[in-house]
Every structure is written in C-alpha cells, then in structure tokens.
C-alpha cells in the first residue's frame, strides 16, 4: 500500500483578519487571510481550513464572505 502526504493549512480568523493565539492569553494579528491562503496554495497545500476563533461565539460569522474573497483570488 502506498501512502501519500495530504497537507491541510489551518487559518485562524477573527473577523477579516488572520490571527495567532499567543500563549492562550491574547491574539496577534498576522495579516490578510486571503493572502495567506494564496501562499499556502502556491506552496502545495491540498486543503485550507478556516477556523472562526471569535465571531461564532456571538452568532455572527463572516466566513461566507471570506470564502468568496478567497475563491475569487484564483
């Protein structure tokens, strides 16, 4: 049996920004999620996984718009 690698890039988002959790205490803004998705796709990622870190707690999500913007980049 032959196994192959499957690369899944995980992108944490808050609103319209790409974020990173710092020591479970705070958030650091890294930039634009669409640009990061483009870079991961160029580097060979098979899938992109968006994690909405905050907005879903309040019943508001912008992931649909973010996905539209990401798809239009290609």
What pLDDT does residue 60 have? 66
Helices (H), 1-74: 33-42, 63-72
Q: How far apart are CA 66 and CA 17, in angstroms?
A: 10
Q: pLDDT, tens digit, for every residue of 6-65?
A: 899 999 988 788 988 888 788 899 999 989 998 998 999 999 998 887 765 666 667 788
Predicted pLDDT at 9: 92
Find where tokens 């019943």 sit: 59
CA distances from 12 to 2, 4, 5, 27, 62 (A): 32, 26, 22, 10, 13
Angle between helices 33-42 and 63-72 (to 10 degrees): 50
């Amino acid at each position: 049996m032959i196994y192959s690698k499957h690369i899944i890039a995980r992108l944490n988002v808050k609103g319209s920004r790409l974020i990173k959790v710092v020591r479970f205490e705070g958030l650091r803004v890294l930039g634009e999620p669409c640009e990061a998705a483009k870079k991961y796709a160029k580097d060979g990622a098979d899938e992109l996984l968006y994690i909405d870190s905050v907005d879903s707690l309040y019943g508001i999500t912008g992931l649909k718009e973010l996905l539209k913007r990401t798809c239009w980049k290609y």
